[in-house]
């Protein structure tokens, strides 16, 4: 196959056709047969995925590629088809962003979301439909973590040690923890906690808890947390986020995580993924979408607040807590009720002897508008009684919001704020502007920021802020750049300049950091910090995340740290080394050692018993288990590619996958003279054939066995081999 003799000329024609976009040129290119053009062999990348080598035809004003290079969801990328002697070709749309490198013979097609089918998923009526596990067994866990750190400018060494133990069975969970912290020669601080929770029904949970501390020789109950009883009742997902859009350049599997709780993964087509009515368990929190496609795995996050969510009509969620805080009684009560799909009421009350406080709020929200008012009162400080209001308006790519806080008994503390944001759909650019003022106290601030994904590997951001207080002015400006040449390597650089009166001179600082993952679970970091102040240092760090977690770092300023975390769990009398996570367990039995798996995206490998235990986040109900095909050995075959399970009760959910995997071994057949036997067949649980070097992939066997061998072209077996476990090369004897 010959390459084009004039690649530079053809590249010029290509670029001219793409940039001009002239209708007549497009029509002429479409009507003329492309088969007369000389084929060019190019390495093709489409939507970020390397599609390998293929033929391209580059007649003037058009680009034709082999049709096999496009995925079904990319059918709109093609505007014409042609059948040539070299195969089937399609003409790429002139609206695509293409680049052709004639020296490297590479063709890159960037994502065009408008031409991809996309998906719209309404999660309002979602309910778990996957079957339950094969069994749920009691689970006992024990975890320990420790940390040593020396910080420049502090006295002595900082030390920390913690131990936690827990048990889960059916509707009951229990946990106990102890932590000790010390700095230098100071007396250590000790904290202990004990808790037990009983899930009466899917809507009602009762928890008993106690928190104690010992500080400076004084032992008492924690004065920041209530030791007593907590009752939670109502809908676990009373709130819902009405809309969230994700750009997917490729077909992908998407798994949502709501404040640590995983929802079942869904398989979606390339394009704009629109998620409607995403149920969330709190009025503010973080949504994460773990996206797995042909290029690997990535995570996108969205932080949401009360102005972003709706309360489902007639949904009620209430939590009450009563007990002792420190040496005095305390109680709290909070709840939310959805009057309609747009109107909701919320309230909160806290009580301690001599002091109580409460809040009442109402909110209206729909897909494009949200407004709320809130009244807060505290008996110990009635002068702080405040009425607040906020409004948010969403219009296409714009988000406008404003808020005001009125303090009737102290008007000087009243304040206003406003913000505007723009996020370009598909452009990777976001812009935001904020302003806030407390005129009575002469406090003012304004800021702006912009970020842009310049290329799939390069992101840049800039921000600036100015503030004034009592006539004194301060400002700061920053710039950051992140370059990710590949999934395992990222480099970040940031610079910040600032000036705050009464300092006459400003300061400047810059930080750069490189992160490299030489292997899964291992991360190496190198960072440097420069400043006009005497704060210059370089740091080297290492982290490992697996069955245990380890971190270590060393800095040129004399600081260093080391930490570790490990856990062990017991299920049915067997021990498993696991990370120290407090959630439910999933025990996958595959029957083979060394099988890599993904459990809700968490990588794990089966142990010598052919089992793997994973502890998930608290509240997880849906579990998806798949082989980790990126790491699966070629000597292991798979029958079922995925198993979805809905957890029932607390403990370790057992998934029996022992019949899903089969192990194979490589064996090389040699003749009596020691020469390989290519293309020979032997009968081992069916007919097996060797390759051109005499190698055959056979089902694993645990005892010696004898198999007849038929040479290439022969009609009957010519010899026999005795296969022995662990022996790769065997000779065929008559």
Report the helix count and the strand count for the chain, using DSSP H and E. Answer: 2, 58
pLDDT value of residue 21 = 39
Going by pLDDT thresholds of 50, 70 and 90, the confidence category of residue 13 is very low
Q: Would you say residue 482 has pLDDT above 90?
A: yes
Domain with CATH 2.60.40.10 in the chain: 567-662
Give the pLDDT of residue 83.
Answer: 92
- Per-residue pLDDT, averaged over 581-592, amounts to 86
Question: Which tokens go with 35?
Answer: 């088969």
C-alpha of 14 from chain center: 39
224-237 per-residue burial string, b: 16 or more CB within 10 A, e: under 16: ebbbbebebbbbbb
pLDDT band at 7 (very low <50, low <70, confident <90, very high): very low
* Strand locations in 265-385 (E): 266-268, 271-280, 285-293, 296-304, 310-311, 316-325, 328-338, 343-352, 355-365, 369-378
pLDDT given for residue 278 in this prediction: 84
Residues 6+ positions from 112 with CB-CB distance below 8 Å: 77, 93, 95, 96, 97
pLDDT tens across 203-262, in order?
899 999 999 998 888 889 998 899 999 999 987 667 888 888 888 889 988 888 776 566
**Lowest-pLDDT range of 87-96, 248-257, 422-431:** 422-431
Predicted confidence (pLDDT) at residue 29 exceeds the cutoff of 90: no
**Residue 20: predicted pLDDT:** 37
Positive/negative CA dihedral, 14, 20, 21, 27: negative
Asked if 333 contacts 260 with a C-beta cutoff of 8 angstroms, the reply is no
Q: Give pLDDT tens digits for 603-654.
A: 889 999 999 999 887 777 778 898 988 888 888 999 998 888 888 778 999 9
The CA–CA distances, whole Å, from 319 to 284, 333, 618 equal 16, 6, 18
- For residue 337 the two structure tokens come to 């009720």
pLDDT of residue 262: 66
Q: Where in the chain is the domain with CATH 2.60.40.1120?
A: 663-731
Q: How far apart are CA 315 and CA 58, in angstroms?
A: 60
pLDDT in tens, 302-321: 888 777 788 888 888 899 99
**Least confident residue range of 1-10, 223-232, 298-307, 697-706:** 1-10
Q: Provide the pLDDT for residue 432.
A: 94
Give the pLDDT score at 190: 94
| Tens of pLDDT, residues 103-114 | 889 999 988 888
Tokens (6 digits) for 627: 């082989």
User: Over 50: is that where the pLDDT of 26 sits?
Assistant: no
Kindly report the CA angle at 361 between 356 and 366, in degrees rounded to 5?
160
Lowest mean pLDDT among 1-10, 36-45, 282-291: 1-10
Specify the pLDDT at position 104.
86
Per the CB < 8 A criterion, the answer to whether 362 and 344 are in contact is yes
d(CA 94, CA 67): 16
- Phi, psi values for residue 353, rounded to 5°: -55, 125
The helix/strand/coil state of 10 is helix
| Mean pLDDT taken over the chain | 86
630 membership: H or E segment, kind and range: none
Structure tokens at 614: 């994973």
Asked whether the predicted pLDDT for residue 125 surpasses 70, the reply is no
pLDDT-derived band at 366 (thresholds 50, 70, 90) equals confident
CA–CA separation, 212 vs 248, rounded Å? Answer: 49
Percent above pLDDT 70 for the chain? 92
Q: What is the pLDDT of residue 644?
A: 85
Q: Are 682 and 708 in contact (CB under 8 A)?
A: yes
Average pLDDT over residues 331-347: 90
Burial code (b: 16+ CB inside 10 Å, e: under 16) for 639-673 equals eeeebbbbbeebbbbbbebeebbebbbebbbebee
Q: Is the pLDDT of residue 673 over 90?
A: no
pLDDT for the residue numbered 582:
67
Quote the pTM value: 0.73
H or E element: which one contains 106?
strand 106-109
Angle CA 271–276–281, to nearest 5: 130
- The predicted pLDDT at position 587 comes to 94
Selection from 709, 708, 705 nearest residue 678 by Cα: 709
Kindly report the CATH number that applies to the domain delimited by 567-662. Answer: 2.60.40.10
Between 125 and 65, where is the model more confident? 65
The Cα 430–Cα 453 span in angstroms is 9
CATH number of 663-731: 2.60.40.1120
């Amino acid at each position: 196959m010959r390459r084009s003799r004039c690649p530079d000329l053809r590249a010029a024609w290509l670029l001219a056709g793409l940039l001009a976009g002239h209708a007549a040129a497009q029509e002429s290119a479409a009507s003329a047969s492309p088969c007369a053009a000389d084929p060019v062999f190019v390495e093709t990348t489409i939507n970020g995925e390397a599609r390998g080598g293929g033929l391209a035809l580059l007649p003037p004003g058009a680009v034709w590629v082999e049709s096999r290079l496009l995925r079904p969801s990319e059918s709109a990328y093609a505007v014409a088809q042609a059948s040539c002697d070299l195969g089937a070709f399609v003409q790429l749309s002139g609206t695509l962003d293409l680049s052709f490198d004639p020296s490297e013979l590479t063709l890159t097609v960037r994502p065009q979301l408008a031409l991809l089918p996309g998906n719209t998923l309404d999660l309002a009526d979602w309910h778990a439909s996957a079957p339950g596990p094969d069994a749920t067994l009691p689970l006992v866990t024990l975890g320990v973590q420790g940390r040593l750190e020396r910080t420049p400018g502090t006295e002595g060494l900082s030390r920390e040690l913690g131990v936690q133990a827990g048990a889960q069975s059916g509707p009951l969970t229990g946990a106990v923890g102890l932590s000790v912290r010390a700095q230098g020669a100071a007396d250590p601080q000790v904290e202990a906690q004990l808790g037990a929770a009983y899930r009466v029904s899917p809507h009602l949970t009762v928890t008993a808890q106690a928190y104690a501390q010992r500080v400076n020789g004084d032992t008492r109950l924690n004065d920041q947390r209530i030791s007593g009883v907590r009752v939670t009742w109502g809908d676990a997902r009373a709130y819902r986020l009405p809309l969230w859009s994700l750009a997917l350049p490729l077909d992908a599997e998407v798994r949502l995580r709501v404040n640590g709780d995983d929802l079942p993964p869904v398989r979606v087509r390339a394009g704009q993924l629109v998620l409607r009515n995403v149920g969330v368990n709190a009025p503010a929190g973080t949504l994460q979408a773990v996206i797995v496609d042909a290029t690997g795995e990535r995570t996108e996050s969205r932080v949401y607040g009360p102005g972003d969510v709706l309360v489902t009509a007639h949904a009620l969620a209430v939590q009450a807590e009563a007990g002792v805080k420190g040496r005095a009684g305390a109680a709290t009560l909070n709840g939310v009720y959805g009057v309609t799909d747009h109107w909701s009421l919320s309230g909160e009350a806290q009580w301690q002897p001599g002091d109580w406080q409460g809040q009442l709020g109402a909110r209206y929200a729909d897909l494009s508008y949200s407004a709320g008012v809130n009244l807060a009162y505290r008996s110990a400080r009635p002068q702080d009684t405040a009425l607040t209001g906020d409004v948010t308006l969403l219009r296409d790519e714009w988000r406008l919001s404003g808020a005001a806080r009125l303090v009737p008994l102290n008007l000087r503390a009243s304040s206003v704020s406003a913000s505007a944001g723009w996020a370009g759909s598909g452009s990777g650019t976001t812009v935001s502007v904020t302003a806030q003022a407390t005129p009575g106290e002469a406090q003012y601030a304004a800021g702006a920021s912009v970020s842009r994904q310049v290329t799939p590997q390069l992101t840049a951001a800039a921000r600036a802020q100015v503030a004034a207080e009592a006539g004194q002015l301060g400002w700061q400006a920053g710039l950051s750049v992140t370059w990710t040449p590949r999934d395992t390597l990222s480099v970040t650089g940031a610079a910040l300049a600032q000036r705050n009166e009464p300092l006459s001179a400003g300061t400047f600082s810059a930080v750069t950091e490189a992160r490299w993952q030489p292997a899964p679970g291992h991360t190496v970091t190198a960072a440097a910090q420069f400043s006009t102040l005497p704060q210059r240092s370089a740091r080297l760090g290492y982290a490992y995340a697996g069955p245990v977690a380890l971190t270590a770092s060393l800095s040129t300023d004399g600081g260093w740290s080391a930490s570790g975390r490990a856990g062990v769990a017991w299920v049915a009398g067997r021990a498993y080394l696991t990370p120290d996570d407090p959630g439910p367990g999933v025990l996958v039995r595959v029957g083979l050692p060394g099988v890599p798996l993904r459990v809700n995206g968490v990588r794990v490998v089966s142990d010598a018993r052919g089992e793997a235990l994973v502890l998930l986040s608290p509240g997880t109900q849906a579990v998806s288990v798949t082989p980790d095909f990126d790491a699966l050995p070629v000597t292991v075959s798979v029958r079922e590619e995925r198993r979805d399970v809905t957890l029932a009760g607390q403990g370790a959910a057992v998934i029996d996958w022992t019949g899903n995997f089969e192990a194979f071994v490589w064996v090389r057949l040699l003749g009596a003279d020691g020469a390989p036997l290519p293309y020979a067949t032997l009968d081992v649980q069916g007919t097996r054939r060797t390759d051109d070097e005499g190698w055959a992939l056979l089902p694993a066997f645990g005892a010696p066995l004898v198999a007849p061998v038929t040479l290439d072209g022969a009609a009957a077996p010519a010899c026999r081999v005795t296969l022995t476990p662990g022996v790769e090369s065997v000779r065929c004897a008559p």
